[in-house]
Amino acid sequence: MKKIINQPDDFVDEVIDALLIAHPGWIKAATADRRALVRADAPKAGHVGIVTGGGSGHMPGFLGYVGEGLCSGVAVGNVFSSPSAEQIFEATKAVNGGAGVLYVYGNYGGDVFNFDLAADLAEPEGIDIKTVLLTDDVASAPAERASERRGVAGMAFVFKCTGAAAERGDSLDEVARICAKANDHCRTMGVGLSPTILPAAGKPTFTLPDGEMEIGIGIHGEPGTHRGKLESADAIADRLMGQILGDLQAPKGARLAVLINGLGATPLEELYLLFRRAAKVIGDHGLSIARSYVGEYVTSLEMAGASITVMLLDDELETLLAAPARSPLYRDWLLV
């Protein structure tokens, strides 16, 4: 094990403690256990609140997307475990500015269960709740069952567009419409090169021999669609882009946003190699890149690997993607 940690059971609470010390002007705790964190300026009267959440171990995933023009609050579970309904409910109340609250989170059983329970708690309090599930992982179910797919790095684009809509004062119906559209326009597929070790368990969540890769792996190590000998960066990008573009069916001439996401242990240099080939494939398909993002956006602790997300843009989504956003952990660069 190669982890810089203290007691494994304290891992999540200590990370939250550190975030609150490092970034006091950005987030505040909405509960005594500090597992519900919200924007320092929450609630924003008259604005839709956006609550996300999920297991820990994905930073900057979830926690890093609470900020201006992004989500309003987050409920923080243990490593790879859903937050509780109570924590989600507390985040909901803390971001409720009277215009309703949107829940947007990855399509995982535990999260769905707890967010639905939280909605049941919120509605008697007069808080309008709408829910959008993130389902961008093309490897996790075929196109005809796209609603069953898991949510992965596409959340960076979805949070960005949805947060921009809420920031400008759109209604709950409108924010939810944009969120669902942004999710529908995203496709992601990943590759894993090494397993993840949970701090409390101290051993790998799955095995993957050195020199092998798993195409289509999930951000908790869920099995992918192909396991085999590690291939070149170009061959991996070709595999991922083939699936993504085949599923997305973007019309010729379309503008795309592209995100190359590192899963934790993969150097930035290698992410750029994947970007390079993805850009070539996109050009060969008669498509163009309007915005490029390369870095770590949603990780899986120290997993070696990466994912590629492609978002099909239209004027509405491109405007929202380009709107200002700011949190200590979110990078947003206007490129190309």
SS3 293: strand
How far apart (Å, rounded) are the C-alpha atoms in residues 287 and 285? 5
How far apart (Å, rounded) are the C-alpha atoms in residues 67 and 261? 20
Please pick, from the candidates 49, 53, 60, 216, the single residue that binds a second copy as defined by CB under 8 A: 60
Compare residues 62 and 103 and give the one whose CB is closer to a second copy.
62
From 58, 185, 226, 285, active-site residue: 58
Compare residues 4 and 32 and give the one whose CB is closer to a second copy.
4
Please name which of 132, 187, 175 lies closest in space to residue 316, comparing C-alpha atoms: 175
Q: Does 78 bind a second copy (CB under 8 A)?
A: no
- Has 226 been annotated as catalytic? no
Strand partners, 229: 212
Q: Using the 8-state DSSP alphabet, how is residue 266 labeled? A: S
SS3 109: helix
Q: Does 324 bind a second copy (CB under 8 A)?
A: no
Total site size for a second copy, rule CB under 8 A: 62
Check: CB of residue 32 under 8 Å from CB of residue 71: no
Compare residues 106 and 262 and give the one whose CB is closer to a second copy.
262
Smallest separation, CB 236 to a second copy (Å): 6
Strand partners, 311: 186, 257
Please pick, from the candidates 62, 159, 275, 297, the single residue that binds a second copy as defined by CB under 8 A: 275
How far apart (Å, rounded) are the C-alpha atoms in residues 161 and 326? 13
Stretch that binds a second copy, among 7-15, 39-47, 80-88, 163-171 (CB under 8 A): 7-15
Which residues are within 8 A (CB) of 119 and not within 5 positions of it... i.e. 6 or more apart? 103, 129, 131
Smallest separation, CB 133 to a second copy (Å): 25
Please pick, from the candidates 6, 9, 125, 249, the single residue that binds a second copy as defined by CB under 8 A: 6
Instruction: Give residues 187-246 in contact with a second copy (rule: CB under 8 A).
Output: 191, 193-194, 210-211, 230, 232-234, 236
Q: Identity (one letter) of the amino acid at 76?
A: V
Q: Does 302 bind a second copy (CB under 8 A)?
A: yes
Instruction: Give residues 14-53 in contact with a second copy (rule: CB under 8 A).
Output: 14-15, 17-19, 21-26
- Has 220 been annotated as catalytic? yes
Please pick, from the candidates 2, 203, 229, 252, the single residue that binds a second copy as defined by CB under 8 A: 2
* Secondary structure of 55-92 in HEC code, one letter for each residue: EECCCCCCHHHECECCECEEEEEEECCCCCHHHHHHHH
Q: Is the dihedral of CA 313, 65, 329, 306 positive or negative?
A: negative
> How far is residue 67 from each of residues 182, 330, 331, measured CA to CA in Å?
19, 9, 12
Q: Does 311 bind a second copy (CB under 8 A)?
A: no
Residues at the interface with a second copy (CB under 8 A) = 1-7, 11, 14-15, 17-19, 21-26, 56-57, 59-60, 191, 193-194, 210-211, 230, 232-234, 236, 264-276, 279, 292, 294, 296, 299, 301-302, 304-306, 328-329, 331, 333, 335-336
Catalytic residues: 58, 220
